[in-house]
Amino acid sequence: MNEMLVRKEDLLLYAVTDRRWLHGGRLYDAVECALQGGATFLQLREKSAGTMPRASLLEEARELLALCRRYRVPFVIDDDVELAMAIDADGVHVGQSDMEAGAARKRIGKDKILGVSVQTVKEARIAAGCGADYLGVGAVFPTNSKEDAEAVRYETLKEICSAATVPVVAIGGINDENVMQLAGSGIAGVAVISAIFAKEDIRLAAQYLLHKVKEAKGR
């Protein structure tokens, strides 16, 4: 791992966007509230990209990148390597069914962040070998954000954290009520969607969840 790209503390509260929770509001405003509340990392996850004009997506992504730079928070794009390259984002995150990790690293170069979703120790080792800077592991709890997400047991999460040579972020159904169940697993942080963006007060939700994550990590 390139220590200059991703620090463990950057991954404490990894916020993932989801337009479904905006209820007519602007994504930019929701993200800024999350950053004000202490989100330490942001991923733009735009699963409706096919219905959104590319020019609009590019403009929005550039605005979010500038916002994250202002808060000194890393900004990556989910899956869409070309979008990440077009706006000079900090990096990309790919899943097992997206662009293969090695191909993604080759496309973005060595100076961009590469995150990879994994569910097994074998996948974790392959991803790290392909140049992943961090791993996303889940779903650790049932989730509505990804209907086809398979469950990852606590023991498996712990094994991946122990075997991985790069930091691990837990994802899937995590909220302020269950995050303490991840204590002792070895994770660097948690990735959340609805636990922040579905809340009426996004800033306060992020602030409280960050506190709970630190508590779970014994900090």
Domains and CATH numbers, the chain: 8-216 (3.20.20.70)
* Annotated catalytic residue, options 105, 112, 145, 146: 146
Weakest-pLDDT range from 20-24, 180-184, 194-198: 20-24
Which candidate in 105, 112, 117, 145 is catalytic?
A: 117
pTM here is 0.94
Q: Dump the DSSP string for 124-167.
A: HHHHHHTT-SEEEE--SS--SS-TTPPP--HHHHHHHHHH-SS-
C-alpha 134/C-alpha 167 separation (Å) is 5
Each residue's pLDDT tens digit, 65-103:
999 999 999 999 999 999 999 999 999 999 988 778 999
Q: Which residues are registered as beta bridge partners of 190?
A: 13, 170
Q: Known catalytic residue: 122? A: no
How high is the pLDDT of residue 62? 98
pLDDT exceeds cutoff 60 at 42: yes
Active site residue 117: yes
Is the predicted pLDDT of residue 1 greater than 50, yes or no?
Answer: no
The mean-pLDDT minimum among 1-10, 12-21, 86-95 falls in 1-10
Give dist(CA 15, CA 33) in Å, integer. Answer: 11
Residue, of 219 and 173, whose pLDDT is higher: 173
- pLDDT of 7 over the 90 cut: yes
Q: Give yes or no: 146 in active site.
A: yes
pLDDT of amino acid 2:
43
